[in-house]
Amino acid sequence: MALLPLMVVGIPACGGGGGNGGGGGNRLSTEDNLKVDQYRTDIEEFCNLAIRPTGELYDRALITVVTSVDELVLIYKKNTGKAFHEPLKDREIKMTDFMQSEAKKLRGCGKDGKAEAAKITPALQAG
């Protein structure tokens, strides 16, 4: 169990520096970056379960993805010109590009995914 806190502490360190690509001024805050990374994982999990959209597990994933998409939209509106730092690949992704990618992914995840993707589109058009 001691390994988990080390991993969690290590994640912000990956995105906290400004040494590569874009610098700290154009990146999301460490807190928002971690949230975006979690919400991206929530969307991925939902899409994996959307193949068979029934049961309690799917229902839980749907509830989670609804919240995740709502929160992503809020973060995007606050940080339109910033970049998400993807820690595992050590690269910067403009939030506009990130949101477009997530909307595209959700459109392929059944009717519920399409409904969630539709919430991202107005934010992109406004930004």
| Span 42-60, average pLDDT | 95
Answer for the pair 100, 107: CB distance below 8 angstroms, yes or no: no
Q: Write down the pLDDT at residue 77.
A: 96
For 86-112, write each residue's pLDDT tens digit.
988 999 999 999 999 999 999 999 999
Query: What are residue 84's DSSP bridge partners?
Result: 93
Q: pLDDT category, 1, cuts 50, 70, 90?
A: very low
> Phi and psi for 8 in degrees, rounded to 5?
-65, -40
Query: Residue 73: which of 106, 120, 117 has the closest Cα?
Result: 120
Answer yes or no: are the C-beta atoms of 94 and 85 closer than 8 Å: no
CB 79 within 8 A of CB 28: yes
The pLDDT assigned to 22 comes to 38
Half-sphere exposure of 80 (CA within 13 A, CB side): 7
Q: Kindly state the percentage of the chain with pLDDT values over 70.
A: 80
Confidence of residue 126 (pLDDT cuts 50, 70, 90): confident
**Averaged pLDDT, 39-61:** 96
Q: What is the pLDDT of residue 24?
A: 52
CB under 8 Å to 127, separation ≥6 — which residues? 76, 77, 80, 96
Q: What is the mean pLDDT of the chain?
A: 84
Q: For residue 66, give Cα distances in angstroms to 1, 22, 61, 83.
A: 31, 30, 9, 23
